[in-house]
Amino acid sequence: MAEKLVLDRPSLLLDIGNSSIKYAWYTFPEEIADLRIFRTSLDSIEALLEQAANCWLCSVVNEETSLFIAALCGKAKIPFHQTRTQAVQFDISNAYAQPQNMGADRWMVILAGAALRDRGEQTNFIVIDAGTAITCDFVVANKHLGGWIAPGLSMARTAVVSQTKRVFDQGQLLDTLTLGNDTPICVAQGALAQLSGMLLQACNIMQSYCSKYELYISGGDARVLISTLAKSENNSACVNINYVENLVLIGLAKIAHQNMAKND
């Protein structure tokens, strides 16, 4: 049965991450790459749902939060959809033998890469979501090859301080990779070096599969990593880097768009 929508209202897209909640509005058939991203809180979602035709959720937190939002959608009498990782979607095949082991947010990021790729000429791409944890995934000729998960900048710095004695961090935000000359600077630079090295390795590995590709990166640490790479003398492998404010929401918009196209 086709989903009945309130035609004069947009779809609400929700990205509930480890450290923040972001949302966007999507009205079919608008361009999904042009979403405006906003921040909100759990307490404010009910008011947003009053303006929505339906709700699309991607959440990495506890199931109770998803059930809470589903109940709010029921109260507002609008359809609720929660995304799950698939083995194949939009012709992208997942490298995981058990797709349910991949976080839905990571799958949305991969689908976002496919959506952005469809606007250009390259069929191959790397997607990086540099948040609390950083994820990196590789797609060549519609096949997800696999990827990495590692601590983000803040988590990496916290791990060093919490697991060692007489090592401390003062929280400096750095975007130039240099050699530290004091313990807090060494901690900050070490974390930045690790993540910058991860990006460089990703580009080097991708070049072993294909000569042309796009790299899409989003998340709270994205800009500092882009800035660091731009200043590096060894960044020749990392080309076509594209900053995207929120890849998860673009992935959600792609799914919402397809659903609405079927019902149009």
Contact 195, 148 (CB under 8 A): no
Q: Helix axis angle, 222-231 relative to 183-209, nearest 10°?
A: 80
Sign of CA dihedral 253, 258, 259, 264: positive
Task: Phi first, then psi: give them for residue 235, nearest 5 degrees.
Answer: -105, 15
Residue 193 CA: distances (Å) to CA of 8, 78, 163: 49, 47, 19
* Closest C-alpha among 147, 149, 151 to residue 137: 147
User: What is d(CA 248, CA 260) in angstroms, rounded to the nearest whole number?
Assistant: 19
Enumerate the H helices of 77-139 as residue ranges: 104-117
Which active-site residues does the annotation give?
A: 105
Angle at 80 between CA 35 and CA 48, to 5 degrees: 55
Contact 256, 11 (CB under 8 A): yes
Residue 238 bridge partners (DSSP): none
